[in-house]
Amino acid sequence: MSRKTGDFVEVSTENEKIKGRIINSKDKKLTLKLNSGYNIMIDEKKILSIKKLEKKTDKKIESRLRQNKSLPKIFILHTGGTIASSVSYDTGAVSPNFSPEDMLNKYPELKDMAYIESKLIFNKFSEDLRFEHYNRIAREIERIRNARGIIITHGTDTMVFTSAALSFALEGLPVPVILVGSQRSSDRPSSDSFLNLYLAIKFILETDFRDVGICMHSSMNDDSCYILPALKTKKLHSSRRDAFRAVNTSPIAEVSREKIIFMNKNYNSKERKLKLMLFNEKLKIGMLTIHPNMHSSEISSFRGFDGLIIHGTGLGHIPIEGKNGEILNELKRLKMPKVIVTQCIFGNVNMNVYSTGRKIKDYLVGNHLDLTLEAAFIKLAWLLSNHKKDIERLFSMNMRNEINERLTAENDFLDLK
């Protein structure tokens, strides 16, 4: 049987029959992409027969889509990531190659909810984004007119950096901006992409939310999503569909096809006038993770940077006693704003509990905050870009719901079951 990359086949061996799509066939190995999304490699010597079930086809995508212009307008800005990805059968990898039209043709139900317009800003995995990309997204949002809301399709790995960046850059945001991602590519049966998109649109259309948020699965089941706060959310799992969780607060809402249940109304709902406050794209912000057996040279490597985020232990500590004394001296030599956050997921830093904290607090900015690592990084970069002379005061100020004034029993820790 002639076989081609992309053909869907059934492979028979002595022990089993395996169905999958051919990724490649070389080096005496046949590699299939299974319906589960995983790959399997089969030794050609063990193959008894191969039955072709479906040929690879190149489907033509409609360039124009009929829509009801009387429906509320939702503008989708595409930036890449898994939600806008498909499998390359030449490599077996997930590649960002869906055009904006691809998504609407794949999910025609979205056109029945709203009048959809879309634009591809760039097509990148989120780990490749830089400050310049945050600015590009913000400028595109500023150009959009007469939209009920805006959805940004985005890779999940650094989605919370982007949601934080937009929260600061879009000052006076007058419409909802929801970031939507997918843990599993759109062509996998277990993909979470459709529900995340569908429920993000539902939330925009049926609520008074006028802020930045994230819409992702609330559980492993395919039945509801959380709308999560842009500056108090983390990705806590590398692959689960319910990987995203609010930190030191609750989700804004849980959304299903049937209803919307609000859990936290700490968001903007008023109409405002948008003003862009963009990032200095030349900034160098470093991140230092504290660990045992540190060396002062790890800190000196950040000389010449504009700011430093220190990922401290516990309540916000770094090693400074005994042989570690040079670490504190090197920290003092860095003439830049230095911020410390806790390596713990929940809770806050507090530099007044132990002697270590009291000895270092005068050399740091913001010493009693519950900022996430991502929010701290973005806030420092934004302040250096827009309020460089007032960083000491503004960093400790709650500007975009990124800081809790105090942690209560309700928001200090969340059940992750």
Active centre residues (catalytic): 82, 156-157, 235
Q: Residue 93, Cβ neighbours under 10 Å: how many? A: 11
Report in angstroms the alpha-carbon separations of 340 from 35, 85, 315, 348.
45, 36, 9, 10
What token pair was written down for 269? 């709902």
DSSP 317: B
Burial of 273 from C-beta contacts in 10 A (0-12 / 13-18 / 19+): exposed
Q: Which residues pair with 78 in a beta bridge?
A: 120, 153
In angstroms, the CA 125 to CA 89 distance is: 19
Q: 374 to each of 53, 80, 185, 243, 291, how far by Cα in Å?
A: 47, 20, 25, 16, 19
Among residues 326, 322, 268, which one has the least CA distance to residue 296? 326
* Cβ neighbours of 208 (radius 10 Å): 11
Strands laid side by side in the 253-256 sheet: 115-120, 73-78, 149-153, 177-180, 212-217, 224-229, 253-256, 260-262
Nearest alpha carbon to residue 39 among 84, 93, 98, 2: 93
Q: Where are the alpha helices (DSSP H) in 277-354?
A: 296-300, 325-333
Cβ neighbours around 202 below 10 Å, total = 19
Nearest to 370 by CA among 338, 398, 391: 398
The conformation of residue 282, written as its DSSP 8-state character, comes to T
